[in-house]
Structure 1
């Protein structure tokens, strides 16, 4: 093959790659919009968000033992 055929092939691959990147960016932008819309709906309905729920302190239920219930 001649050098010009390699150049044409390289140019075609480059153009296909650019088109693929454009479509991926468009898809990413639409998914980000969907995520942002869902997040804004959830955050407006619940106060604090997931971050405060992650560190929520849980107090276990303690039942008095039989020894501490008997007082002398």
Structure 2
């Protein structure tokens, strides 16, 4: 089971990834993917506040995956 501290670190890492993709030009579909990643990040924070670590961790990891796809497309990773 993931800890609250680990999830908070993952959320912080995601915030850094979001800053990175803000600097690139993306198409409409990519904007939708980024918006969905942000939604999952917000869901992660919500579930973290509710102490539902499993759901919070799942949300943040899914969000990372969406952003990683955008970052890969634009040669950022």
> TM-score, normalization: structure 2?
0.34
Using CA pairs under 8 Å that are at least 6 residues apart, name the structure with larger relative contact order, 1 or 2: 2
> TM-score, normalization: structure 1?
0.36
Larger relative helix fraction: 2
